[in-house]
Structure 1
Amino acid sequence: MMVRALTLYRSQFRPSTRWAKPYAMVCVNLVAADERQQAHYLFSSVQQQFLHLYRGTAGKIPLPVTKLADNWEPHEINAMERTLKYSLVGNSDDIRQGIEALLAETQADELMFNGPIVEQQARLHSFSIGAEVMKSLA
């Protein structure tokens, strides 16, 4: 619904003394690692968290797993994929491509990243990769 929300916001925007034109900030999950496989492993926490929220059993973000449980229903997988569609997951090249695509699609003026990674050092490293990619795009 993000793109729809941005379209509605921009179409309904009325200039004011403070804002002459629309200004949009987009926030997405960022799960980056040196290796693509490691990033996807870390992202499994987000996927599991979504399942728990979807089923009404929210709690702390789960530890990552190498394989998601087999008890997902097709409609749950579909909902997860739709909801997490804009998450940026992978190595620095994947993140760069993802950010470029996100900016092209949303025309966002500003990006904010959520770091849903359990382990603090991995989360800090993910943000470091994201920051380096952003600097390279500036």
Structure 2
Amino acid sequence: MTLPYSILDLAPIPQGATVAEALAHSVDLARHAEALGYHRYWLAEHHNSTGIASAATAVLIGHVAGQTSTIRVGAGGIMLPNHAPLQVAEAFGTLATLYPGRIDLGLGRAPGTDGLTAQALRRGVLNADRFPEDVIELLGFLGDASADQPVKAVPGQGTHVPVWMLGSSLFGAQLAAHLGLPYAFASHFAPDMLAEAIEIYRARFRPGVTAAPRFMLAVNLFAAETDAAAHLLRSSMIHGFVNLRRGQAGPLPPPCADLTTVASSAEIAMAERALRVVAVGSPATVEARLRALIAQYRPDELILTGHIFDHAARKRSFEIGAQAMARIARG
């Protein structure tokens, strides 16, 4: 079967690295992904985090698109409560005009930050209550203009930038089904409602922006030459997730051979549960796990992510992932 596979990147900042190095690594990884046959390269909006460099998501998308040639580049996603729909339409309409046929817009309902930072963004947490209306308004700004439309997005109007609904709960599944939007579930960090969300989305989908349901599954990927080496790579993300839950988010920690030296058993179990949609191991182990996830959830697309401390190891992990997906496609 032909199953598109993509990358979700938060431009992680490892301990001891600079923002400039993290952004350069994202560009290098995007070029690598393009050469490996990845379909999309998505970047995610987060704010007030010293461990993530993709806060100005549209700016970074433009930079990555300008440094690549064919791979689709987009947002996975833009946190719409932080923005006026018109401004999002203008930004992504500009990107779509500069890089025609290559820009995606994934929309999230969470603010992607804390309450104080949401206030600093000048939109406020109450804007999440307007999320469905804001999505519809944004779709209008990206679609064809009507004759009596008083406000138009220029650029943006008529660009029909592909819009994806993102979610980690049943709300996004229901809204995506209602509006006929493709749907990507945040199973890489919040998989508890995954199976139910897929069922609701497919059962309630009605044609709208797209004619048929299109579901994207997010999977954490940590691949290396051996299972042990891959699990060591993954320890950085486990440690970082524990720090996040402690309210101590920061740069990505280096690999740790014994996580019990930096976290309690309960904290490690919590992180393992939240990050359990994962393919970790050698090439053969990763391929078997990806095959099992695909058989279980029947996605229309797969998006792979993984916070890995060493840039060369991260590139190699996504290379192994691409090779596994190519073998799966062959049979």
Q: State whether TM-score is above 0.5.
A: yes
- What is aligned with 1:81? 272
TM-superposed deviation, 1:108: 0.4
- What is aligned with 1:31? 222
| 1:108 correspondence with 2:299 | yes
> For each residue in 1:82-130, what CA deviation from the matched residue of structure 2 results, as whole angstroms up to 9, or x when unmatched?
2111111100111111111111111101001113111010001001100
Of 252, 255, 260, the residue aligned with 1:69 is 260
Of 9, 13, 32, the residue aligned with 2:201 is 9
Q: Which runs of 5+ in 1 are unaligned?
A: none
CA–CA separation in structure 2 for the residues paired with 1:73 and 1:130: 30
Matched AA of 1:92: P
| 1:117 correspondence with 2:308 | yes
Contact 2:237 / 2:306 at 8 angstroms: preserved in 1? no
- What is aligned with 2:87? none
CA–CA separation in structure 2 for the residues paired with 1:123 and 1:63: 13
CA–CA separation in structure 2 for the residues paired with 1:38 and 1:114: 17
> For each residue in 1:39-77, what CA deviation from the matched residue of structure 2 results, as whole angstroms up to 9, or x when unmatched?
000100011011011111111111001100344152x33
CA–CA separation in structure 2 for the residues paired with 1:43 and 1:73: 16
- What is aligned with 1:44? 235
Q: Secondary structure at the match of 1:25?
A: strand
Q: Which runs of 5+ in 2 are unaligned?
A: 1-192
Q: Secondary structure at the match of 1:79?
A: helix
Instruction: Supply the RMSD in Å over aligned alpha carbons.
Output: 1.4
- What is aligned with 2:285? 94
> Between Structure 1 and Structure 2, which shows a larger proportion of helix residues?
1
| 1:131 correspondence with 2:322 | yes
CA–CA separation in structure 2 for the residues paired with 1:94 and 1:73: 25
Percent of aligned pairs sharing the same letter: 39
TM-superposed deviation, 1:3: 2.0
Matched AA of 1:91: S
CA–CA separation in structure 2 for the residues paired with 1:87 and 1:40: 11
TM-superposed deviation, 1:32: 0.1
TM score, norm. by length of structure 2? 0.39
Higher relative contact order (CA 8 A, sep 6+): 1
- What is aligned with 1:22? 213
Q: Secondary structure at the match of 2:314?
A: helix
Q: Secondary structure at the match of 2:317?
A: helix
From the superposition, tell whether residues 34 and 73 of structure 1 become closer, same or farther in structure 2 (CA, over 3 Å).
closer
Contact 2:287 / 2:324 at 8 angstroms: preserved in 1? yes
